[in-house]
Copies of this chain bind each other. A is one copy, B any other.
Amino acid sequence: RMRILVTGGAGFVGSHLVDRLMMAGHEVIVLDNFFTGRKKNVMHWVNHPNFQLVSHDVVEPIMLEVDQIYHLACPASPPHYQYNPVKTIKTSTMGTLNMLGLAKRVKARILLTSTSEVYGDPEVHPQPETYWGNVNPIGPRACYDEGKRVAETMMYAYQKQSKVDVRVARIFNTFGPRMHPNDGRVVSNFIIQALQDKDITIYGNGEQTRSFQYVSDLVEGLIRLMNGDYDQPTNIGNPDEYTVNDFSKFIKELTRSSSKISHLEATADDPRKRKPDITVAKRELGWEPVVDVKTGLAKTIEYFAGVLDEGG
């Protein structure tokens, strides 16, 4: 039994990770500033003796005693991270420095949730961890992409210089229950639009691709990475790749929706394709996704249908 810190633990991914860690009997501390996270996501643990929810911004230093740190705190969807780009960069830079300073002081192992966005608009497909990426350092996505790149740099600088025990997950697009309905990401947008028979909004020609992973697979991958011996960046994603056009049709089918497809303007620097090479995760962690996209989407659709019902 360990004492485990989860920053961003009231968010989408964080709250599912907390569920797994609590179920395994660990003590869990969640730090969150509730920018995109909600107390509701972890409400079911608030009265549990092993659980602590701390309202805290990782940009500020904090003193805690823990064995492991899952460092997730950072807005993840483009509309959220572009809402206040300066804050997004501070979260990735100062926030990660603070968590590394904490990890160093208490000798805790720390895992950073990095992202497939470190590959930018990739010129290698699918993307292995050895690919250095193609990121615009001054574009609208840079506050997130460059913030995560330099957060990775920090991880390995502290490893080299201060022997901090680090893990880096490069997460590819993930979906599931507890995604923020106003998140702006493609899965939540399309499902909600389809359920309401509103127009499905495709940005650009829709020929860009993404590969979608269900959240339980991600959580399993994070836990294996944290507790294994492999310390280099590791892609965690489902290689099941769709064009945004095909994905919109898939969601229409699954929801039996009568929505129309509407094409809006493309967003700046939108990556044209993305698909993980998961050779490393298979070899080093014995991990691969087990939930197929259709099954995952069915659960997510059910979740959003419930949210819409509640909302009236």
CB within 8 Å of B: which residues of A? 84-86, 88-90, 93-94, 97, 118, 120, 132-138, 142-143, 146-147, 149-150, 152-158, 160-162, 168, 233
Whether B143 lies near A157 (C-beta < 8 A) is yes
- Chain B residues within 8 Å of A150, by CB: 89, 93, 137, 146-147, 149-150
Contact of A85 among B97, B138, B147, B160 (CB under 8 A): B160
Nearest residue (CB) in B for A85 is B157
Nearest residue (CB) in B for A154 is B89
Question: In the complex, what distance in Å separates the CA atom of A157 from the CA atom of B84?
Answer: 9
Contact of A86 among B86, B146, B161 (CB under 8 A): B161
| CB of A131, distance to nearest CB on chain B (Å) | 10
Number of copies: 2
Known A-B contacts A89-B150, A143-B153; A134 and B132 likewise in contact (beta carbons under 8 Å): yes
Whether B153 lies near A89 (C-beta < 8 A) is yes
Question: In the complex, what distance in Å separates the CA atom of A147 from the CA atom of B151?
Answer: 10
Can you name 23 A-B pairs with beta carbons within 8 Å? A84-B161, A89-B97, A89-B150, A89-B153, A89-B154, A93-B94, A94-B94, A94-B97, A132-B134, A132-B135, A132-B136, A133-B137, A137-B149, A138-B152, A138-B155, A142-B153, A142-B157, A143-B153, A146-B149, A146-B150, A146-B153, A147-B150, A149-B149
Question: In the complex, what distance in Å separates the CA atom of A94 from the CA atom of B100?
Answer: 15
Question: In the complex, what distance in Å separates the CA atom of A211 from the CA atom of B66?
Answer: 50
Whether A157 lies near B94 (C-beta < 8 A) is no
Question: In the complex, what distance in Å separates the CA atom of A155 from the CA atom of B157?
Answer: 23
Question: In the complex, what distance in Å separates the CA atom of A85 from the CA atom of B146?
Answer: 17
- Chain B residues within 8 Å of A168, by CB: 138
| CB of A292, distance to nearest CB on chain B (Å) | 32
- Chain B residues within 8 Å of A155, by CB: 138
Question: In the complex, what distance in Å separates the CA atom of A233 from the CA atom of B138?
Answer: 9
Chain B CB count within 10 A is highest, among A118, A120, A149, A155, for: A149
| CB of A116, distance to nearest CB on chain B (Å) | 13
| CB of A307, distance to nearest CB on chain B (Å) | 31
| CB of A118, distance to nearest CB on chain B (Å) | 6
Whether B157 lies near A86 (C-beta < 8 A) is yes
Question: In the complex, what distance in Å separates the CA atom of A20 from the CA atom of B84?
Answer: 38
Whether B149 lies near A85 (C-beta < 8 A) is no
- Chain B residues within 8 Å of A142, by CB: 153, 156-157
